[in-house]
Amino acid sequence: MPPLRTLLAMPVALALLALTPAASSAPTAPATDALLPLLVTAGGAPAAALMAREEPGTHYARAGRGISRADHFRAGSITKTFIATVVLQLAAEHRLALSDTVEQHLPGLVHGAGNDGRALTLRSLLTHTSGLNDFSAETKGLTPLSPLQAVRIALTHPPAEPGRFAYSNTNYVLLGMVIEQVTGHSYATEAERRIIAPLDLTGTSFPGARTSLPSPHGRAYAADGTDVTELDPRVAGAAGELVTTLADLDRFYAALLGGRLLPSRLLHEMRDTRAAHGLYGMGLFPQKLPCGITVWGHNGRITGSYVRTAATVDGRRVLTFRVNTTAVTDPGLEPALLAAEFCPRTP
């Protein structure tokens, strides 16, 4: 019997075989279209959809029932790219510096159990190298919290090794609080003013405490099949509150990586992964594909929704795919889908 890894790879391998172009005058279907159904049959999702953006247009595909092109859905940690962009815009305006300490902006907040806001910079929050405990490890993403409550939960635990990359939602909750301290407005208001309105992201919003999704939308399901379409976004706050659409995410990442939202110096800094030892920049992370191409973006997981956006470094080509459940059970499908989109096809 083949080892488990081989069994997991077999559906992907079979689909890739199906991608070999046949001798025909008919247009060749995008390589991603053969893989997308596997997110349902092998990945355990009720339904899946993708939208690819490249000059001169877009391509949409779906698999399974109850999912559509215009659906609004929860984007989870993709929210972090929006938050990081706002922070970097404030840095460009000299309203804060990435070398500022957390203590300078939120005095007295981060202390206890070995945590010390005087030793933590905004850069360390952006790159997940602060060592702060992830509050959601305790709440499991099920308990609505205020930002202060989330931070206080994290501060009951000692920090991880200083300077080591350790992904923590607490970092971005704190950054949301810093945005409010610097601007006098909520992170949602600033993101709407600086990103959502200028880019005309009409399907994107920060819902606050609103548990329903805007129309149109499908249903969202937990791993056990429970319908979790109604969800209080305060389970994630600035680390994962965003509601959006496929088209809006493609447009946002194309604009960001294309240089429309940040000066080139700060966009370069956003993609600098040295602090996190190559694993993470600031609200973005790279993924090197088997063909050698590196794509940039983020994923988002929240109860009932998993989303992944990836783009070329210049933002000229973007892919977003989503499933209407919390996770894709076959870990090989995501990299295969990205490779199908971004790697050159052999004749």
Q: Where are the domains of the chain?
A: 73-342
Token match 């939308």: residue?
A: 217
pTM of the model: 0.93
pLDDT at residue 55, as a whole number: 78
Contacts of residue 74, defined as CB under 8 A and 6 or more positions apart, other chains included, come to: 213, 220, 231, 233, 240, 242, 243, 300, 302, 304, 305
pLDDT at residue 132, as a whole number: 98
pLDDT at residue 346, as a whole number: 62
* Rounded distance between C-alpha atoms, residue 278 and residue 77, angstroms: 19
For 309, the 3-state DSSP assignment is strand
CA angle 229, 39, 41 (to 5 degrees): 105
DSSP assignments along 312-336, one per residue: -TTSSEEEEEEESBS--S-TTHHHH
Q: How many residues does the chain have?
A: 347
CATH architecture of the domain with residue range 73-342: 3-Layer(aba) Sandwich (3.40)
Closest CA to 252 of 309, 178, 329: 309
User: Catalytic residue numbers?
Assistant: 77
* Rounded distance between C-alpha atoms, residue 120 and residue 115, angstroms: 9
Stretches in the chain below the pLDDT threshold 70 = 1-27, 346-347
Contacts of residue 250, defined as CB under 8 A and 6 or more positions apart, other chains included, come to: 51, 52, 53, 58, 309, 318, 319, 320
pLDDT at residue 6, as a whole number: 34
* Rounded distance between C-alpha atoms, residue 79 and residue 268, angstroms: 20
* Rounded distance between C-alpha atoms, residue 224 and residue 116, angstroms: 40
Residues of the chain above pLDDT 70, percent: 92
Burial of residue 51, with CB atoms counted within 10 A of its CB: 0-12 exposed, 13-18 middle, 19 or more buried: buried
pLDDT at residue 49, as a whole number: 98
Token pair of 196 as six digits: 């959502």
Contact assessment for residue 165 and residue 128, using Cβ atoms and an 8 Å cutoff: yes
Give the pLDDT confidence of 225-256 residue by residue, as tens digits. Answer: 999 999 999 999 999 999 999 999 999 999 99
pLDDT at residue 27, as a whole number: 60
Give the pLDDT confidence of 201-223 residue by residue, as tens digits. Answer: 999 999 999 999 999 999 999 99
Contact assessment for residue 173 and residue 77, using Cβ atoms and an 8 Å cutoff: no
